[in-house]
Structure 1
Amino acid sequence: MLQVKDISFSIMDKQILQNLTFSIDQGKFVGIIGPNGSGKSTMLKIIYRHLKQTSGVVTLYEKDIVYFAQKKLAQEISVVSQDTPVLFDFTVKDLVMMGRTPYKKWLDNDNHEDFAIVEESMRLANVLHLENRSFGQLSGGEKKRVMLARALAQQAKILVLDEPTNHLDIEHQYQLMDLVKDLPITIVAALHDLNLAAAYCDELLVMKDAALYMKGTPEQVLTEETLKQVFHMQAGVTKNPFTKKLHLFFYTRS
């Protein structure tokens, strides 16, 4: 569905990404993990065309994404970024309605279908009770869930998430991950929490020093040796007694 071929990206003399090649299959939940500065967010920004790579190509359905019209690309890829910059103070409902923009022609009015999609998106993201609130008055976690609702209203086939659980308490972290895991679409997410990555992702891409270090299932990737080599941490790997998924615990050398 989505292919990244020999992608490199640099700023001045600093190499941010180097010769990345991988593919993402339709319907998979793919996590991108790695230390700070390893290039995770940059890679996502290239995938959704916020940044232009120095070399290489990203293809969607075997077509270079540079040839997609902006509205067409927005129908294919929706994004929840780390930050939630909103220049004007909209209500939550108005902001989520903006997710319908890729389907509108100039001066088109919102219709019954749009309102139904927006209401369901807010319900799924657990922000329906906030619909008339000002976005600027929300907490960081509430803002994150509103931006997810806007992405859901976009009804794209690929959802890109950059640190989606930032600002969320533990309950809402798992609620959000449960929600996106159940979506019948492709998910690509940069994640810091390795236990969330282990519990929810079908595949993991491991970034280290601007390059792709490893790709595989959580069981293949999250080994004690990989965690030591990539994250410089002593770790143990076991199974969560409730979910039967991998569970990691970390400890210092002392």
Structure 2
Amino acid sequence: MNVLSLLTLFSSLLYSMEQPVPKESGGGSHTAGNSLNLKCETSDFQFKTSKLGWYLWAPGHIPLGLTNFDSISTDATEDRIITSREDSGSRIFLQIKDLGLRDSGQYHCVRRVGTGDDRDKLFFGLGTDVTVEPGTRTPLTPNVFLVRSQDVVACLIRNFYPKEIHVSLASPGALISAQTYVMAPMANGIYSAVQIGRIGENDTVTCTVEHLGKEIHVSHKPEGNEQRNKLLLSVLGLRLLFMRIMIINIFFTAMALIF
């Protein structure tokens, strides 16, 4: 999707606030390898001749069209994606087989009005959230690193399973402010996370991680430049992931308020 198409998409979202809103259902948490079945119900327009489809908005990615908008065809972009429609009940359906972590995101039912060019209007439903969780696997104890740059401290927790974990930053007699935590599933079915906060440059800090009934404590110690740089690069990657997630969440929150 080019920049012009993306701008058209956002202007269509604002324009659609006065239009009939499709309602999606079927989201929630699903396990990788299973199938996803979503339904969209709508009314107040001529359903049989309408161009309808599905969009996926995943954190850190631009909106992805999963189907074309032909009023008759139900072809999808992948063989594992199947769409269908029920004109008599004003419903359209989306099925995705063999779910993977990449299928997580917010799914929107979309109605397209126009002649098929960039000037068309897209009327989005509010969407339904889908989270694809890794399948069951052998428990894995996390690797924990603590790094800091001036007043910013980050506890990096890598490669653990299951995802239930508690992370805290503490310092004797000092306040750790602006704490932010984000966890993300990796493509190999395990998890990584990062806890970021601010503290005085001369204050000591300890990261405590509780996982599977065990505690791991890591205190700040001077690192060699090479090792420190590698860790900072890893933290930067997770911080960028967090920023992308926040941007998407803020936008979806704005959508909900508008609609």
TM (norm. structure 2) is 0.20
Structure showing greater relative contact order (alpha-carbon pairs closer than 8 Å, 6 or more residues apart)? 1
TM (norm. structure 1) is 0.20
Q: Quick check: which one's helix share is greater?
A: 1
